[in-house]
Chain A
């Protein structure tokens, strides 16, 4: 009897200690954020001795249209091991919990043959299964930590973001094309049954407002402002994409906090809460002010864009098109760009946040779009403590050029595991690095 009581006491004591540890740990990161600037200090012992030029040898790879090699992301395994995805390659790189390169592996079919084509791993479900992004025409490959294929989930859309939920389900921020619009939506997919439930959806709207042309006449157009495209006779289609195109709908960002799925809408600043089965619970809004780009700022940007759009640069980007056709296209696009200067009549609001990163204490860090590049300043919205805005903070790092994105920055046990470009590296600059967070 006394032995049982002692055991019970030990268990209770352990639980209290664990609760205290978690509580203190949670406090620690929030306290750090409250101090303002956080310095990211690389752990020099982590990933030491790796031959980065060989491990990331595909870094310089490019296709005819894109430099794809630099697009690498990471996934953290429960034991702290790291898997690095290489876009457009069919293998993954595995690193030990100390960051030492272990091996490259591929997904193997039930017959043991490697898959020729596979997408980056998006997450881990059930604590033991990787799942990839949605591969056309809609397959998600699932495989164990040895690369052995276990099952394929089927969807009929493409993913922007996928996260594992603790109830054997996967939340997906996806998009698909309909005849007249692009649909953005969030679904919850059951890993076991492949059943889907649409949680939230929206469709894009194109802006076809009338505007006053350079001749002073009111004109209507089918062309969205800041969107320039040209169809060459040779069936080659040219388009200048722009993130500040009016009508451009920011896709939803999803995150899991405790037993809730959050759908964050960056344009309105709305955060919608659902349970893990997709039942709507509540919604709230971020409480920092929405920033805008003024008319003069937009006009200045547009003027810079016009200045940059020289015939020389244009012809370099389309070497196969005959010169006469290029001249015609260049003058058409340039005319449209100048027309758009007159179409800028109202300020443009900037989405409230760009991305969300969950730290190892369960806090959600909401990052706003900065005014200048590499400003390293962001808002911290601590959702775990009731979802209220806590402070504004920033990351500073001396040795690396920070790219702040959840697919490149993952928290684990108070550390920040990241794929970043070293400022002083020779050869391939990309590094797998573990940062310790310290107050500046």
Chain B
């Protein structure tokens, strides 16, 4: 007596066999304990898998953020990501526009100390009683508005 192969048993289990073939399988299963045991094992596995699939279908999918960062291929666009991108683009655009608008007023807005355009060391007041190399010198700082200040 030839035992039933696994694929046919699986089709039987799923109710996918034609009636004539299903009768022949049932007749064999009554006489063969090996095939009966294999069928029961398959039924048990199938039941577990179905239970698992049932659980998954009700659970809300959660994707850890670090997971897709570490693996960019897994990245999937979702609504929150699209919003973040939009915010970034709009923010950069707004900053650029602000900078363009403020550019003509840059010399007013920026601290004059940052606008030193020239420095020159010069003798402030010559003293004919001191050697040339010991004269009191100061740094002349001229800002972009032409204001002159002196620093020791």
Q: How far is the CB of A155 from chain B (nearest CB, A)?
A: 12
Determine the residue in chain A with the shortest Cβ distance to B149.
A65
Q: How many residues of B contact A (CB 8 A)?
A: 36
Across-interface contacts of A235 in B (CB, < 8 A): 111, 113-114
Q: Among the listed stretches A4-12, A33-41, A367-375, which one makes contact with chain B, having 4 or more residues with CB under 8 Å of it?
A: A367-375
Task: Known A177-B142, A235-B114; judge A241-B137 contact (CB<8 A).
Answer: yes
Q: Could you tell me the dominant secondary structure of chain A's interface residues?
A: loop
User: Which of B3-11, B17-25, B70-78, B119-127 lines the interface with chain A?
Assistant: B119-127
Q: Give the docked Cα–Cα distance between A238 and B129 (Å).
A: 28
- A221 in the interface (beta carbon within 8 A): no
- Residue-wise, chain B 114-152 has the 8 Å CB interface mask toward A (1 for contact) of 101111111111111111111101110110011111111
Evaluate contact between B128 and A369: CB separation under 8 angstroms: yes
Which of B111, B133, B137, B148 gathers most chain A CB within 10 Å?
Answer: B133
Interface residue? A248 (CB, 8 A)? yes
Set of chain A residues within 8 Å of B134, measured between Cβ atoms: 243, 373
Q: How far is the CA of A376 from the CA of B118 in the complex (A)?
A: 36
Given A65-B150, A235-B114, residue A241 in contact with residue B138 (CB < 8 A): yes
> How far apart are the CA atoms of A248 and B127 in the complex, in Å?
17
Which A residues are CB-close (under 8 A) to B126? 354-355, 405
Do the beta carbons of A229 and B119 come within 8 Å of each other? yes
Q: Which residue of A lies closest to B113 (CB)?
A: A235
Q: Which residues of B contact A354 (CB under 8 A)?
A: 126-128, 132
Q: Is the C-beta of A437 less than 8 angstroms from some C-beta in chain B?
A: no
Closest chain B residue, CB of each to CB of A402: B129
| A316 at interface, CB cutoff 8 A | no
In the complex, the answer to whether B133 meets A66 with C-beta atoms within 8 Å is no
Closest to A228 in B: B121
Q: How far apart are A106's CB and chain B's nearest CB, in angstroms? A: 22
Whether A243 lies near B135 (C-beta < 8 A) is yes
Known: A65-B152, A136-B147. A369 touches B132 (CB 8 A): yes
Q: Do B114 and A158 touch (CB < 8 A)?
A: no
Which of A66, A67, A405 is the one whose CB lies under 8 Å from B127? A405
A93 at the interface (CB under 8 A from B): no
Partner of B129, one of A243, A248, A376: A376
B123–chain A nearest beta-carbon distance, Å:
5
B21 to chain A, nearest CB (A): 86
Q: Mark A399-440, 1 if CB is under 8 A from B, else 0.
A: 000111101000000000000000000000000000000000
CB proximity of B29 to chain A, nearest CB, Å: 86
Task: Give Cα A369–Cα B131 distance, bound, in whole angstroms.
Answer: 5
A330-379 residues at the B interface, CB under 8 angstroms: 350-351, 354-355, 367-376, 378
Tell me whether B152 and A67 are in contact (CB under 8 A): yes
Q: Is the CB of A367 within 8 A of B147?
A: no
- When distances are taken between beta carbons in the complex, the residues of chain B under 8 Å from A404 are 127-129
A320 to chain B, nearest CB (A): 12
- Report the minimum CB–CB distance from A378 to chain B (whole Å): 6
**Is residue A388 contacting chain B, with contact meaning CB distance below 8 A?**
no
What separation, in Å, do the CA atoms of A239 and B128 have in the docked complex? 25
The residue from A177, A227, A402 contacting B121, defined by CB atoms under 8 A apart:
A227
Q: From residue 203 to 234 of chain A, which have CB atoms closer than 8 A to chain B?
A: 227, 229
Cα A66 to Cα B136 with chains together (Å) = 11
Contact with A along B80-120 (1 / 0, CB 8 A): 00000000000000000000000000000001011011111
Distance from A183 Cβ to chain B, minimum over Cβ atoms (Å): 12
- Which A residues are CB-close (under 8 A) to B151? 65-66, 239
Known A66-B151, A137-B146: A245·B129 in contact at CB below 8 Å: no
- Asked if A385 is at the interface of the complex by the 8 Å CB criterion, the answer is no
**Contacting residues, chain B, for A371 (C-beta < 8 A):** 131
- The answer to whether A237 and B125 have CB atoms under 8 Å apart is no
- Chain B residue with the shortest CB-CB distance to A403: B127
Q: How far is the CA of A334 from the CA of B86 in the complex (A)?
A: 52
**Which residue in chain A gives the minimum CB-CB distance to B150?**
A66
For A136, give its contact among B116, B124, B133, B148 (CB under 8 Å): B148
The distance in angstroms between the C-alpha atoms of A65 and B141, with both chains bound, is 12
Q: Contact at B128–A243, with CB atoms within 8 Å?
A: no
Contacts of B120 in A (CB 8 A): 177, 182
**Least Cβ distance of A20 to chain B in Å?**
33
Complex contact B130–A373 (CB within 8 A): yes
Q: Which of B123, B142, B149, B150 is close to A243, meaning CB atoms less than 8 Å apart?
A: B123
> Could you list 25 examples of A-B contacts with CB < 8 Å?
A65-B149, A65-B151, A71-B125, A136-B146, A136-B148, A177-B117, A177-B120, A227-B121, A235-B114, A237-B116, A241-B121, A242-B133, A301-B133, A351-B132, A355-B128, A369-B130, A369-B132, A372-B131, A373-B131, A374-B130, A378-B128, A403-B125, A404-B127, A404-B128, A405-B125
Interface, chain B (partner A; CB < 8 A): 111, 113-114, 116-135, 137-139, 141-142, 145-152
Nearest 8 interchain pairs by C-beta: A241-B121, A367-B128, A404-B128, A241-B137, A65-B151, A369-B132, A243-B135, A354-B128
Please list the residues of chain A having a beta carbon within 8 angstroms of any beta carbon in chain B: 65-67, 71, 136-137, 158, 177, 182, 227, 229, 235-237, 239, 241-245, 248, 293, 301, 350-351, 354-355, 367-376, 378, 402-405, 407
Q: A369-B130, A369-B132 are in contact. List 17 more A-B contacts (CB 8 A).
A: A65-B149, A65-B152, A136-B148, A235-B113, A237-B119, A237-B141, A239-B151, A242-B121, A243-B121, A243-B132, A243-B135, A245-B121, A354-B126, A374-B129, A404-B129, A405-B127, A407-B125
